[in-house]
Amino acid sequence: GDSVTQMEGPVTLSEEAFLTINCTYTATGYPSLFWYVQYPGEGLQLLLKATKADDKGSNKGFEATYRKETTSFHLEKGSVQVSDSAVYFCALSPNQAGTALIFGKGTTLSVSS
Amino acid sequence: DGGITQSPKYLFRKEGQNVTLSCEQNLNHDAMYWYRQDPGQGLRLIYYSQIVNDFQKGDIAEGYSVSREKKESFPLTVTSAQKNPTAFYLCASREPGGGSPLHFGNGTRLTVT
């Protein structure tokens, strides 16, 4: 079945460092791809999405490009801030009506000043 | 503002008791979902509903039950048959279409002792 694999954390960075969180997927057809962020004690918030190959999603300095050839959707940010400390989830939505999103296990990011 | 409301934020129950978690949305979304989150496990799908009076089991439905009598409401009951009910429960909704993102509530943390 469809699945999402993302790099295990925690990822620990200093402020202004470059961030990459790897995400690869297995799916039939052409899924939509998402990154969500979760702050402590809260629900998940959509960070960005891409719905077809070569699309780039971007928001708040974060970017991810839908790469069909490598089945990847890596999250990047050029300069992280302490406020970016959170758990990041990669997810896919199969291209079928009536299906739910499938999530990776999450990657914890900790940024220190 | 439209959104998803989960209540209560914290819930404590004794083992052997059933407990119902509330989820209400005013986004006018047809589809609603319940996920369970455990440390290091990511999000796992419990139940989802595409339309009023209809719902489907997710990956870990055993020990849970739901109802969908109104479009706005999708309560989850954790029964005494659920062997390990202590977890963080997240409710979500979305518009039709694979490219539509999930909108999440802020979750209910259930502790059963």
- In chain B, which stretches have pLDDT less than 50? none
* Residue contact B102–A45, C-beta within 8 A: no
Q: How close is the nearest chain B Cα to the Cα of A62, in Å?
A: 17
Q: Which of A95, A102, A103 to mutate to probe the B interface, most B CBs <10 Å?
A: A103
Give the span between the Cα atoms of B92 and A39, in whole angstroms.
16
CA nearest neighbour of A55 among A79, A72, A37, A40: A72
Cα nearest neighbour of B46 on chain A: A100
DSSP secondary structure, A6-19, as one string? E--S-EEEETT--E
Confidence of residue A97 (pLDDT cuts 50, 70, 90): low
Residue B1 confidence (pLDDT): 66
Residue B7: which of B108, B84, B85, B110 has the closest Cα? Answer: B108
Measure CA A20 to chain center. 10
User: How far is it, in rounded angstroms, from Cα A20 to Cα A7?
Assistant: 10
Query: Tens of pLDDT along B16-44?
Result: 999 999 999 999 999 999 999 998 788 99
